[in-house]
Amino acid sequence: MGKTEVLAALEALIQRLELTDAQPFRVKAYQRLWEVLATLPPAAWQSTEALDLALRGQTGIGEGLRTTARTLYETGTVPLLEELKQQIPDSVVELRRLPGLGPKRVQELWRELNIVSVDALEQAILRGKLQGRKGWTPALIERVREGIAVYRAQRHLLLYVEALRLWEEATAPLRAAGIAPELVGEARRALPLVETVEGVLLNEHANKAQALGWQPMEGKRLRHPHLPVFLHLVEKAQWGIELIRLTGPAAFWETIRTRLPQKVEVFTEEAAFQLAKLPYILPAWRDWEDIVEVAERGQLPAPLTEGHIQGSVHVHTTYSDGADTLQAMAEAARALGWKWLGIADHSQRAAYAGGLSPERLAQQRAEIQTLNSTYDGTFTLLAGVEADILPDGTLDYDEGVWRQLDYIVASVHEKLQMTKPEAMQRLERALSNPYVRVLGHWTGRLLRSRPGYPIDERRILEICAQNRIAIEFNANPYRMEIDWRWVRHAAELGVSIILTTDAHAVFELEYWRSGLAVLQKGMLPPSLLLNAQTTPPFPML
Ligand SMILES: [Zn+2]
Ligand SMILES: [Zn+2]
């Protein structure tokens, strides 16, 4: 089995285990295994022995978990998972994908109300079966009802990182054999949600690919034997043009096609753009309807590059609900080559997430100062907080606390059920607080499960421009917002964007890479990307 299948089986196991009365430490152990496996390099997936070796000596991975990993790798399942599958149907586990439904609530639905699927839950809501039950507020019920609609519309879509993971895994053997396919379609355009994972391969390599198990399908394509990935077979002399056509979107291709001479040989994409008398247009930009005109006017921004990322903010630690210590997060950021990292644990209001009392926050600030003194100016930790925007729009804590901090990320975490006027009133008040440096979460959407609360995007951007508040681009794979479509408007108004990972563990810092790819879609000039500063951007007044 490959990485994707092993991780999926392990996730299935964890989600089921959480619905039993298993001890939390057992669940945590499997979660730890998932995290470690997710970050192993491709070499570790070559054989059982390589995998076992890679797991040896990893913190929190004992003999039992190594056996689990080996068995999953060899057979795709383990006895415990099979046993749990007998007890808990897939359709019950699916309920976890809806907003507001943690393990406890799903257990309640399943065991006490015999609700065993999303459809059954929708029926139960319509019939008012949840009303009046403990904890089921009208707002929560409404949130779940809305979540069901989003889930139905997006359930078949892949998150951008999932699409990339599939692509990497499916094509690794081809690359190892010296034949390099190239990604096309929505994943190449870095859309946050992707429907199909597809690539192109030179026709002359088709036999080699088939020898590696790829199977012919209609329309001059090959499909992977068991992953949902396929390859278009393309002639060398058409490579450049086919890359543009298959990367899409269709409207972009139509525009380019009319600018190209008929029947030409074009070996590279760059050459195709030259023939079309255009500068190279990044795949991520091609979803903009006016992109060809922008290119013709010579107004394309300089691309954002990975080298631009000198630091980031908004990470959590064990002070609140993070899995790794302050020091571990700092070391991981240093290992990435970053010059600065802004800590932002949860504020006291977020009690469910271990929000910090003012005293704990002060303690953390002291630890940050101590750590900073050991870095000799080569690296800086910023003392911040992710302060809850309370329902009335005021910020958690008070001025005495705010003024001690390097920066504040202000985010809405509770009472997300708002009308547009309610949301605007709440946000406008929060954004008038002079200590806020970053607006977090934008609308609070979660891809495939939660629509964001409605806001007047333009107005929020104007306020942020006026008050010199940066807006985060949250690279968590489920968030990926501020939505890329609004990044361009932000740039027009001169609003700075800061790429954040919202990492709750060291391995989540890696989200910066996929986040940057999606952020690129927003055509942000590097000058407005705060991460590009070599010295910390806060305090920035
Ligand atoms: Zn948050
Ligand atoms: Zn956060």
Which one of the ligands is nearest to 441 CA? 1
Spell out the residues 6+ positions from residue 407 whose beta carbon is closer than 8 angstroms to its own.
313, 342, 344, 382, 384, 437, 438, 538, 539, 540
pLDDT at 540 over 70: no
Q: Topology of 158-286 in CATH? A: Beta Polymerase; domain 2 (3.30.460)
Ion ligand 1 contact residues with beta carbon within 5 A: 411
| 397 φψ region: left (φ > 0), alpha (ψ -120 to 50), beta (else) | left
Asked if 295 contacts 278 with a C-beta cutoff of 8 angstroms, the reply is yes
Q: Tell me the pairing of strands 407-411 and 380-388.
A: parallel
What tens digit of pLDDT does each residue of 331-352 get? 999 999 999 999 999 999 998 8
The mean per-residue pLDDT over the stretch 208-224 comes to 96
Question: Which is nearest to 202 in space by CA: 220, 226, 176?
Answer: 220
Asked if 382 contacts 375 with a C-beta cutoff of 8 angstroms, the reply is no
pLDDT at 515 over 50: yes
pLDDT of residue 431: 98
For ligand 2, the distance from its centroid to the CA atom of residue 345, given in whole angstroms, is 7
For ligand 2, the distance from its centroid to the CA atom of residue 89, given in whole angstroms, is 32
Give the whole-angstrom CA distance, residue 213 versus residue 42.
Answer: 19
For ligand 2, the distance from its centroid to the CA atom of residue 240, given in whole angstroms, is 42
For ligand 1, the distance from its centroid to the CA atom of residue 128, given in whole angstroms, is 31
Q: Is the peptide bond before 249 cis (omega within 30 degrees of 0)?
A: yes
Which one of the ligands is nearest to 389 CA? 1
For ligand 1, the distance from its centroid to the CA atom of residue 474, given in whole angstroms, is 9
Tokens 């009392």, located at residue: 357
Structural domain spans, the chain:
3-87, 90-154, 158-286, 306-532
Asked if 185 contacts 228 with a C-beta cutoff of 8 angstroms, the reply is no
For ligand 1, the distance from its centroid to the CA atom of residue 154, given in whole angstroms, is 23
Give the up-direction half-sphere exposure of residue 524: CA atoms within 13 A in the CB hemisphere. 33
The mean per-residue pLDDT over the stretch 311-321 comes to 97
For ligand 1, the distance from its centroid to the CA atom of residue 314, given in whole angstroms, is 9
Which one of the ligands is nearest to 444 CA? 1
For ligand 2, the distance from its centroid to the CA atom of residue 157, given in whole angstroms, is 25
What tens digit of pLDDT does each residue of 451-490 get? 899 999 999 999 999 999 999 999 999 999 999 999 999 9
pLDDT of residue 121: 95
Which one of the ligands is nearest to 416 CA? 1
pLDDT of residue 451: 87
Quick one: what percent of the chain has pLDDT higher than 70? 100
Mean pLDDT of the chain: 95
Q: Is the peptide bond before 539 cis (omega within 30 degrees of 0)?
A: yes
- Report CA torsion sign: 134, 140, 142, 144: negative
Q: Topology of 90-154 in CATH? A: DNA polymerase; domain 1 (1.10.150)
For ligand 2, the distance from its centroid to the CA atom of residue 316, given in whole angstroms, is 7
Strand, helix or coil for residue 415:
coil
Give the whole-angstrom CA distance, residue 213 versus residue 207.
Answer: 10
Query: Rounded to whole angstroms, what are the CA distances from 254 to 74, 233, 238, 240?
Result: 47, 21, 16, 15
Asked if 131 contacts 422 with a C-beta cutoff of 8 angstroms, the reply is no
For ligand 1, the distance from its centroid to the CA atom of residue 339, given in whole angstroms, is 23
Query: What is the secondary structure of 448-467 as a DSSP string?
Result: TTBPPPP--HHHHHHHHHHH
Q: Which CATH code for domain 3-87?
A: 1.10.150.110
Question: Which is nearest to 314 in space by CA: 441, 192, 403, 416?
Answer: 441
For ligand 2, the distance from its centroid to the CA atom of residue 145, given in whole angstroms, is 25
The mean per-residue pLDDT over the stretch 113-125 comes to 93
Matching fold, domains 3-87 and 306-532: no
pLDDT at 216 over 70: yes
pLDDT of residue 311: 98
Question: Which is nearest to 80 in space by CA: 3, 25, 35, 13?
Answer: 13
Which one of the ligands is nearest to 316 CA? 2
For ligand 2, the distance from its centroid to the CA atom of residue 541, given in whole angstroms, is 23
Q: Topology of 306-532 in CATH? A: TIM Barrel (3.20.20)
pLDDT of residue 324: 93
Which one of the ligands is nearest to 342 CA? 2
What tens digit of pLDDT does each residue of 141-173 get? 998 998 998 898 888 999 999 999 999 999 999
pLDDT at 92 over 50: yes
